[in-house]
Amino acid sequence: MEASDSERGQRLDRVLVARLPHLSRSRIQQLLEAGAITLNDHATKPGHPVRPGDRIAVTEVPRPQTSHPEPEAIPLTLLYEDDDLVVVDKPPGLVVHPAAGNWTGTLVNALLHHATTLSEGGDPVRPGIVHRLDKDTSGCLVAARNDTAHLRLAKQFAAREVLKIYLAAVRGVPRHASGSIDESIGRHPRHRQRMTVVRAASGRNARTDYKVLRNFGTHSLVECRLHTGRTHQIRVHLQHLGHPLCGDAVYGRDPGEWPRLMLHAWKLGFHHPTTQKWMVFEAPIPEDFRRAGLEPLP
């Protein structure tokens, strides 16, 4: 790949995080240190600034011999647990399941260490995973501990019966204090790792309701409720509104001082797969949000 003019002066590791969303920042740094990523055919440091036209090459990362992830003692914050499911508060920077370049150090590895059983779900590298969060998104995530629970939870997600409320810091202040973005989303025609708003016929329908909770002038704290679950939905819809998420190097601009993509899966609600009781979980406001003053008013 070649560095673009818009990436001029950015750290190499930040460029790679934006270009390779399936790799964690720590994994990218490991690959740089191992010489598996080169800049103009030379090994270099994560903080090296790039220039337009720089050639960035990534060596193929081999898949482990086993297709089954191994348990790893990675700390987890549990919001709820029973025989059917576990709800966790995923920290930012943690990839949800193993994939190319991230065969270890994922939420799945942590869950396997904590839980004696997880559902198979039809994919041996994603046991228990009913839905996903982006690597840098924090907050509520539910995993299934058996196949029956997995099937029943997955049906609720597919039927759009799940409550999904996020907190997002966005650049600027939306013109309207609240509204609904009902725009189809599809793959970007040129940048294939990105999504974009497209005509209904060529994409998948997507709806996000939003409400401005706090106005800081240069940025805002926005509550987003998802009625669908498209890839990068909040990021794409808020960019389409003219207010990309703070810290989003893919759909916004240089993250600047923002520590990460400022998106938090705040509340998650669903019917328990066995008892059918309606349950709502809330992930505490993360520390990096608090330091930035990004807390809803009482």
pLDDT at 100: 67
Single pTM value for the model: 0.78
Query: How far is residue 255's CA from residue 263's CA, in Å, rounded to a whole number?
Result: 13
What is the CATH code of the structural domain delimited by 64-159? Answer: 3.30.2350.10
Average pLDDT over residues 93-115: 87
pLDDT at 217: 96
Q: Which has the minimum average pLDDT: 39-53, 169-183, 189-203?
A: 189-203
> Does the domain spanning 5-58 belong to CATH 3.10.290.10?
yes
The two structure tokens encoding residue 38: 């080169």
- Residue 171: half-sphere exposure toward Cβ, Cα within 13 Å: 21
Q: Classify residue 9 as left (phi > 0), alpha (psi -120 to 50) or beta.
A: left
Catalytic residue among 13, 89, 134, 248: 134
Q: What are the angstrom distances between the C-alpha of 86 and each of 106, 134, 136, 186?
A: 16, 19, 20, 31
The two structure tokens encoding residue 201: 């016929």
Q: So where are the chain's domains? A: 5-58, 64-159, 165-263
pLDDT at 66: 54
- pLDDT tens string 123-164: 778 899 999 999 999 999 999 999 999 999 999 999 999 999
Domains 5-58 and 165-263 share a fold: no
With 60 as the cut, is the pLDDT of residue 62 above it?
Answer: no
- Going by pLDDT thresholds of 50, 70 and 90, the confidence category of residue 168 is very high
pLDDT at 196: 94
Please state whether beta strands 138-144 and 263-271 pair in parallel, antiparallel, or not at all (unpaired): parallel
The CATH label, of 3.30.2350.10, 3.90.1150.10, 3.40.50.970, 3.40.50.150, for the domain at 165-263 is: 3.30.2350.10
pLDDT at 254: 75
Instruction: Tell me the H-state helices in 7-86.
Output: 12-19, 25-33
290 three-class SS: helix
Known catalytic residue at 254: no
pLDDT at 126: 86
Average pLDDT over residues 23-30: 73
